[in-house]
Structure 1
Amino acid sequence: MDVAAGPLRGEPLREAIEAGRDLAAVAGRVRSHRAALRADADRAASSLRARSAIVRALGAGTWRVLPLSRGDDVLLGHLGAWASAPEVDPAGESLLHRLDTELPARGDLAERLLGLRRLVLFGRRREEAERAATWLLEQRRGWGGGMRSWLDRLDARTREPVLPLPVTSALHAGVGLTDALDLEGSHREVLPARAVAGLAELVPPLAGVISSAAQARDRAEAAGEAAKDSQVAALLAQMPVDRLREATAERLRVGALEEAGVRTVQQVVEHADLAAVPGVGPVTAQRMLGAAHTLRALAHESTTLRLDPDDRTPQATELLVRLHTWEVLRQAARADDVVGHALSLQPLAERLGPDATHLAVVGDAPVVELLGIVEPVLEHARELRAAVDGVAAADPWEDFTDRPALYFALLSELGLVEETGTYGDVPDDVVEATRAQDLDDSLLRVSLRGYQSFAARFALVQRKVVIGDEMGLGKTIEALAVLAHRAAEGGRWFLVVAPAAVVSNWVREIAGKTDLTPRRLHGAAREEELARWRREGGVAVTSYGTLGALAEGLEGFELDGLVVDEAHYVKNPRALRSRRVGALVRRTQQVLLLTGTPLENSLGDFTTLIGYLQPELLEGMGDSPLEFRRRVAPVYLRRNTEDVLVELPELVEVEEWLELSAADEQAYLEAVGSGNFMAMRRAAFESGMASAKLAHLLEFVAEAEANGRRVLVFSYFRDVLARVAESLPGLVFGPLTGSVPPAERQQVVDDFSAAPGGAVLVAQIQAVGVGLNIQAASVVVICEPQLKPTTEWQAIARARRMGQLHSVQVHRLLTEDSVDERLVELLGAKSRAFDAFARVSETAKSAPEAHDLSEADLAREVIAAERARLFPEGTDAPG
């Protein structure tokens, strides 16, 4: 074909080339705009995806949470711009590509056929130009109509600005966030960031609290060793250097050391170079240093770590801080569910910046359930932060004096306080089974001493036991540990039977030291609480007196655990309350009988308790104390204070023997003459200020007040207490008698404990023998001998118990040539009988007949002896 004469030249071709270039420019703008939109959207998606967090809450749901801040409105705008861009299918994308790339290239080739250039165009190049021209002329026929309109619409969007979108619209379908981030879930919501305020700051410490608690334990243990080392150093600093001779069989010349100013063993330990001391060669120096380290090792082995408020060394202070920190972190870590949720929230906390204003949440469960997880985590985390801050701000010694039992429990757990009598008299096979028993303390809020943990595990292994630990060792918390373990296993219904005076105390202990729910089945609301307990479970607490009224509600009801407190209250098997308790014991698998005085007047009292549990243990038993203890050992655990509380301050007991004043003697003669035993016992106080006992008592109180000590004054008799209270100067609380309601008794004790040093609590000895803790006092005065040794032991133990920081002085006021002498004589036998049958820390030597003496027998014997002494045959008694 002659090109010059054909359609491949001239105006038609020129128009086709120009039209093609116009289309290519539009397609190029559209392609460039769409590429920019997509790149911006991809960058926005990548940035937002990096900040999103997945929260997987066990048993609740899974959510992806995206924190959004003010600057994110631009990113959302980019996502929205791309999401709202007209959709172009693959064919359209291919067309845009061809228009953008092929049209300009073919136009350039075809343009060679125009003008003078065509005259020099030959061969292959001319063929390429002709093919391009032909293609352009053919394609032009399709460039109008729908394609042009479609391209113009796309081109129009290139002139629309990309506008920021409010973050509150992040999850709107038109924004495209959920598609860009592959967010799946039917529950979607944008929340204000204040809904999780504090999460970023508070959650990480809570999420890491388990490892933090482990580290805190290690630091506390190291601080304990450092405190013990400082005590050893103080001991060696007072040990003269000539003690080195005692640590080695060789003769050491220590005179050279003394001349060089090295006068103590600690100075030898610390000396940089003993061989440089004149007169001490290398060999001698090595022997001296070896001897010093031997003494140091022995001192370390024999030293019991003590925390003394009167000796606040830096090491002891550091130990208290470390112990307190460990306890705070450990208690926080015990909330497994909350800590678990904190761990699931940690990815979100790590991505929550300080500028976050909103949260875009998408999940498979309602968003309100996520907030239901967040709220308790934040509450627990705030409590943890406040507690940790409190450790730093508090005076460690003040906290120690407020809660010494806690600190000693922690020391015991770290092995820094030795407990030698943990196993009591329990047989070896039972000990091994007990040690192998796990104890779930997840529902306890307090730490157990080693011996307390053993008691709880012993009860779990043996099922039905008597816990006869001495007063002050924590039988209540041992029982609660058992109930908490059973509750963690799924148990729901527990019952505590106790004297009315301590029902309130049990309710307080359950609420304060466990996560169990106390139910007070005592008083006006007992029926409502009984119904609630039957319906919902918990630890029901009732009194011996109320137990009968609840019998119908308890009939046929299976208990998961039964605790009988002060179990010597049911020592008489014929008493109605004993029969009721016995029936409960028989149909309950887990039973703890608690008593610090299993043997009061007769061996029969003790055997009654054993008979409730395993009567077969007593079959065919003789009257040997050793045989008795061997028989009951599988179900009876008793530890004495001195055996396990090695940190307990000294107990100083003094018998203050006084002469009766003239007035006292006259009152006493009249009482003996009338045969009135009780009048004989309190005659020494009848004369008021003329009484020798009262005068001596006033001296004690004055001295105690001068030393800042609180005083307990005990008597059996109310009129004696009234006379004492009237005569004492200063701050006096009481008299606390049996007629004071239990709740008021506790309030009196609380007020006394909070009073400044020098205060006096006057109390009837039998009214405080059960349940009340009065370790604020460190001076105890007993106005007259009691008819049961256990009554005095109980009263003293109310002051000298775990948590007491000061030595306890016990002063017994006794008068010569009176009933006091006879009682002290006769009661000694009862005390020895208790040691033989009930204590496990001493060898039994007493004969069984030494303990069987009733109070009535005692009174008759004393009266007869005193009448015989004061009124020989033929002499008339006064009155």
Structure 2
Amino acid sequence: MPTTATAAPRRKKTSRRDEEAPLIPILARKVREIEAKAQRGKLGPTNRVKFQVIAFLVREERARVKTDAELTDAARAELLKRLDGVATILAKTAARDTSLIQLLEADQATSPVAKRMRRDWLLESGAELAPEELVITDIAPVQTTVVPAALAERQVVPPSVESRQLANPFLAPDLTPRATTQPRRRLDGWELMGPLYKSFETGAGGGAATMELPPTPEYDHISPKGLEVMAHQARFVEAVRAGHRSFLLADEPGLGKTAQSAIAASVADAYPLLAVVPNVVKMNWAREVQRWTPQRRATVIQGDGADIDAFADVFIVNYEILDRHLSWLSSIGLKGMVVDEAHFIKNLSSQRSQNVLALASRIRERTSNPLMMALTGTPLINDVEDFDAIWRFLGWTNGEKPGLQLMDKLDATGLTPADKGFYPEARDAVISMGIVRRKKKDVAADLPDKLVADLPVQLDDEFGRSIRQAERELGERMAAKYRRIVEARTGAAGTSRVPAGEIDEDIVRLVAHNELEESKAAGTGGDNVFTMVRRIGQAKAQLAADYAAQLQRSVDKVVFFAKHIDVMDQAEAHFAASGIKAVSIRGDQSTPARQQAIDAFNTDPEVGIAVCSLTAAGVGVNLQAASNVVLAELSWTAAEQTQAIDRVHRIGQDEPVTAWRIIAAHTIDTKIAELIDRKQGLAGRALDGEAMEDGSTESVQEAALMHLLREALTGAAGS
């Protein structure tokens, strides 16, 4: 749809040198914004487009300045110097994030979003543009195929699906009227995705991110015999009954999101329904569907689907095998789709995310108002733009701009991103699209609090000493790189730009980032942050297992979480030697074996400990028979730690929950625990409207490396 720019805003009074090239101060301001975002590790899609637009506007402006006959040589040299300054910042930013280098090579604005940015900045500078540059036409959406060519050969059609298709070869037509024209909107010419993310990043407006829900019904009309939904669950279902059909259900873990989804599908009659879930919870999903909607049939897709019930109402598939079932799933007339642990799709470049989004797009094409639900207690892992894929799945945005319904809501505010009041209104508009976020303390007064208690342990054996020595060597290796960079930046007069006794944080961040990238490439080879943490886990394994065994004797059941298989193996051997019966929940188990272990822990009084993989058992597993958790190894994300604790801290838990973190004192382990706790603030700002201090937004790995480097530098200075 074509959009035309409105009149350019009146420019502020500028200096004479800016009057000669009024675009340069705009570019300088924008590039500083990009630089600040890059330093905090927050270069999402919108900022990448800004980076690209700055790069080709710098080239355009340099060409104009060089050929401007009205400029004196001195003025031309000054302007070129200022443009070089902008280009230098672009280059430094690209060195920090090498994926930006290809954007420096762009010759022109290609996407409508980039064209609008270029147009708006030029108009702000007072430039006169040709009529064809004022009107920006959106690219007509290309209907993507659900099954990409690379996956075509992997497609399977289970025999029972063929029977279903033969029994009913024609899908019921959807006769709902569709809009044929799109009305012009006041905000069509504005770039809106950045402001939408910013409105959540700052927690604009305050308050929990929950749409207005109907009151709790006086009578429970939805619970099957013998069960009773909680008030917060009933209010959600009433919203579905009222006609709402797209939700980001972001309730804290343990508040019954699976049950709410199953009942919502029944109320909306959204069958057939597809549930895309982590492998570990497939069986639990089938149980919950049967429990809350006993009149409906659910089938779990395993492998090539040879044993599925193709006439079922709910199809449950895990992310890992979805790729081979795309063809038939896209053709059976799905009326709804649920994505459990929706943060799994946040990486838009992954095949997993592309498969989910392609299926969602096909469902919306064939059904006018399908039930689309994204479930996750931790929708944000690192950055507010983690919302991007989820919003696309729900049809709220297409990545470049808001969808029709959201655009209508934004337009109705009467504001633009230039108005400060736009941001709380924009956040409310997105929330009203279907974000539902309830905290346990708000909706489940009888749910006990949880406590995370740190237990420092001393690694005083030879293995522990070798770990600390390896950490010192890693810090010194990075310190040597830091010093080389400082020396390279020393001026001709022999003076350093870094005052004596001070540390240049930009260089620290650059060295740590490069070390992290090298560590990722090296994998398990050599001494790096990943091998260091694994060795710490190995060193803590016996101590953590011994503490869990002592705890079990006092409190009965304990859940023991570890990240690596060898740590789990050591723990299980220790428990066996101590005479404690334990079960294991791992990623390589079959679904029935995993469920058998979960059931044994919850129901068998002889089973005292569940030894769980932090990644395989951290989501969708109910272990509320215990109220104590031992975290033998730390995760790299606050969300993963929270998910693990919430396997115990759930509805039905009637005892206070305590998570005991085993932390290796005087090692990088201590810093990682501190960084994980800092990361908790992001969701508090974005989802709960809480006022939080701005914390570092680097990854935990990078921040931990920066800590090691600072220690090495200050230690050297002190000595």
- Output the TM-score relative to the length of structure 2: 0.55
Residue 702 of structure 2 corresponds to which residue in structure 1? Answer: 857
Matched, 1:575 2:350: yes
Deviation at 1:833, TM superposition (A): 1.1
Task: Judge conservation of contact 1:466–1:637 (CA < 8 Å) in 2.
Answer: yes
Mark the runs of 5 or more structure 1 residues left unpaired by the alignment.
1-422
Q: Describe the shift of the 1:853–1:599 C-alpha distance in structure 2 as closer, same or farther (beyond 3 A).
A: same
Deviation at 1:517, TM superposition (A): 3.5
Residue 26 of structure 2 corresponds to which residue in structure 1? Answer: none
Task: Judge conservation of contact 2:252–2:377 (CA < 8 Å) in 1.
Answer: yes
Residue 249 of structure 1 corresponds to which residue in structure 2? Answer: none
Structure 2 Cα separation of the partners of residues 734 and 750 of structure 1: 10
Deviation at 1:832, TM superposition (A): 0.8
Pairs within 5 Å for 1:55-94: none
Matched, 1:520 2:299: yes
Residue 793 of structure 1 corresponds to which residue in structure 2? Answer: 642
* Equivalent in 549, 552, 559 of residue 701 of structure 1: 549
Deviation at 1:816, TM superposition (A): 2.4
Residue 46 of structure 2 corresponds to which residue in structure 1? Answer: none
Pairs within 5 Å for 1:318-357: none
Q: Describe the shift of the 1:521–1:816 C-alpha distance in structure 2 as closer, same or farther (beyond 3 A).
A: closer
Structure 1 Cα separation of the partners of residues 572 and 657 of structure 2: 22
Pairs within 5 Å for 1:729-740: 729-740=578-589
Structure 2 Cα separation of the partners of residues 438 and 696 of structure 1: 49
Pairs within 5 Å for 1:135-150: none
Structure 1 Cα separation of the partners of residues 278 and 229 of structure 2: 25
Residue 157 of structure 1 corresponds to which residue in structure 2? Answer: none
Q: Describe the shift of the 1:560–1:442 C-alpha distance in structure 2 as closer, same or farther (beyond 3 A).
A: farther
Deviation at 1:855, TM superposition (A): 5.4
**4+ runs of 1 displaced by more than 6 Å?**
434-439, 442-445, 618-625
Residue 372 of structure 2 corresponds to which residue in structure 1? Answer: 591
Deviation at 1:821, TM superposition (A): 2.0
Q: Describe the shift of the 1:869–1:820 C-alpha distance in structure 2 as closer, same or farther (beyond 3 A).
A: farther
Cα offsets for 1:641-680 (capped at 9, x unmatched)? 1221111234232111233324353131354235322332
**Aligned AA for 1:756?**
P
Task: Judge conservation of contact 1:779–1:810 (CA < 8 Å) in 2.
Answer: yes
Structure 1 Cα separation of the partners of residues 279 and 706 of structure 2: 34
Task: Judge conservation of contact 1:440–1:484 (CA < 8 Å) in 2.
Answer: no
* Equivalent in 291, 310, 315 of residue 540 of structure 1: 315
Matched, 1:630 2:411: no
**Aligned AA for 1:742?**
T
Task: Judge conservation of contact 1:769–1:798 (CA < 8 Å) in 2.
Answer: yes
* Equivalent in 720, 729, 739 of residue 567 of structure 2: 720
Task: Judge conservation of contact 2:302–2:317 (CA < 8 Å) in 1.
Answer: no
**Aligned AA for 2:572?**
A
Cα offsets for 1:741-764 (capped at 9, x unmatched)? 232122112112223277111111
SS at match of 1:526: coil
**Aligned AA for 1:857?**
E
Structure 1 Cα separation of the partners of residues 604 and 661 of structure 2: 24
SS at match of 1:772: coil
Pairs within 5 Å for 1:390-469: 425-427=209-211, 430-432=212-214, 441=222, 446-460=227-241, 461-469=243-251
Structure 1 Cα separation of the partners of residues 702 and 615 of structure 2: 20
Structure 1 Cα separation of the partners of residues 545 and 302 of structure 2: 39
* Equivalent in 643, 658, 669 of residue 442 of structure 2: 643
SS at match of 2:213: helix
Cα offsets for 1:4-63 (capped at 9, x unmatched)? xxxxxxxxxxxxxxxxxxxxxxxxxxxxxxxxxxxxxxxxxxxxxxxxxxxxxxxxxxxx
Structure 1 Cα separation of the partners of residues 532 and 625 of structure 2: 33
Structure with the larger helix share: 1
Structure 1 vs Structure 2 CA RMSD: 3.3
The number of equivalent residue pairs is: 433
Q: Describe the shift of the 1:500–1:873 C-alpha distance in structure 2 as closer, same or farther (beyond 3 A).
A: same
Structure 1 Cα separation of the partners of residues 347 and 437 of structure 2: 21
**Aligned AA for 1:820?**
D
* Equivalent in 445, 467, 474 of residue 668 of structure 1: 467
Deviation at 1:468, TM superposition (A): 0.6
Residue 264 of structure 2 corresponds to which residue in structure 1? Answer: 482
Residue 561 of structure 1 corresponds to which residue in structure 2? Answer: 336
Task: Judge conservation of contact 2:279–2:318 (CA < 8 Å) in 1.
Answer: yes
Structure 1 Cα separation of the partners of residues 657 and 454 of structure 2: 14
- Determine which structure has greater relative contact order: mean sequence separation of CA pairs < 8 Å that are 6+ residues apart, divided by chain length: 2
Deviation at 1:787, TM superposition (A): 0.9
Residue 14 of structure 1 corresponds to which residue in structure 2? Answer: none
Cα offsets for 1:794-823 (capped at 9, x unmatched)? 111001101112221211111222112221
**Aligned AA for 1:827?**
I
Cα offsets for 1:413-472 (capped at 9, x unmatched)? xxxxxxxxxx95435xx435x768998627687321010111223345331110011111
Residue 125 of structure 1 corresponds to which residue in structure 2? Answer: none
Residue 283 of structure 2 corresponds to which residue in structure 1? Answer: 504
Structure 2 Cα separation of the partners of residues 826 and 864 of structure 1: 16
Q: Percent identity?
A: 24
Matched, 1:552 2:331: no
Structure 1 Cα separation of the partners of residues 610 and 669 of structure 2: 23
Task: Judge conservation of contact 1:443–1:485 (CA < 8 Å) in 2.
Answer: no
Q: Describe the shift of the 1:695–1:553 C-alpha distance in structure 2 as closer, same or farther (beyond 3 A).
A: closer
Residue 454 of structure 2 corresponds to which residue in structure 1? Answer: 655
Structure 2 Cα separation of the partners of residues 867 and 563 of structure 1: 49
**Aligned AA for 1:667?**
S
Residue 659 of structure 2 corresponds to which residue in structure 1? Answer: 810
SS at match of 1:633: helix
- Output the TM-score relative to the length of structure 1: 0.45
* Equivalent in 723, 744, 754 of residue 593 of structure 2: 744
Task: Judge conservation of contact 1:472–1:798 (CA < 8 Å) in 2.
Answer: yes
* Equivalent in 533, 541, 546 of residue 681 of structure 1: 533
Deviation at 1:725, TM superposition (A): 1.9
Cα offsets for 1:457-508 (capped at 9, x unmatched)? 3345331110011111000000011112133xxx541111112222122112
Structure 2 Cα separation of the partners of residues 696 and 799 of structure 1: 19
* Equivalent in 764, 769, 776 of residue 625 of structure 2: 776
Q: Describe the shift of the 1:664–1:449 C-alpha distance in structure 2 as closer, same or farther (beyond 3 A).
A: same
Mark the runs of 5 or more structure 2 residues left unpaired by the alignment.
1-206, 365-369, 411-415, 474-525
SS at match of 1:462: coil
Residue 608 of structure 2 corresponds to which residue in structure 1? Answer: 759
Task: Judge conservation of contact 2:357–2:392 (CA < 8 Å) in 1.
Answer: no
Pairs within 5 Å for 1:811-830: 811-830=660-679
Residue 611 of structure 1 corresponds to which residue in structure 2? Answer: 392
Q: Describe the shift of the 1:518–1:858 C-alpha distance in structure 2 as closer, same or farther (beyond 3 A).
A: farther
Cα offsets for 1:72-124 (capped at 9, x unmatched)? xxxxxxxxxxxxxxxxxxxxxxxxxxxxxxxxxxxxxxxxxxxxxxxxxxxxx
Structure 1 Cα separation of the partners of residues 313 and 645 of structure 2: 33
Task: Judge conservation of contact 1:701–1:758 (CA < 8 Å) in 2.
Answer: no
Cα offsets for 1:225-253 (capped at 9, x unmatched)? xxxxxxxxxxxxxxxxxxxxxxxxxxxxx
Structure 2 Cα separation of the partners of residues 761 and 621 of structure 1: 51
**Aligned AA for 1:755?**
D
Moved more, 500-509 or 820-829: 820-829
Structure 2 Cα separation of the partners of residues 463 and 829 of structure 1: 35
Task: Judge conservation of contact 1:653–1:810 (CA < 8 Å) in 2.
Answer: yes
Residue 201 of structure 1 corresponds to which residue in structure 2? Answer: none
Task: Judge conservation of contact 1:833–1:851 (CA < 8 Å) in 2.
Answer: no
Q: Describe the shift of the 1:486–1:682 C-alpha distance in structure 2 as closer, same or farther (beyond 3 A).
A: same
Deviation at 1:593, TM superposition (A): 0.7
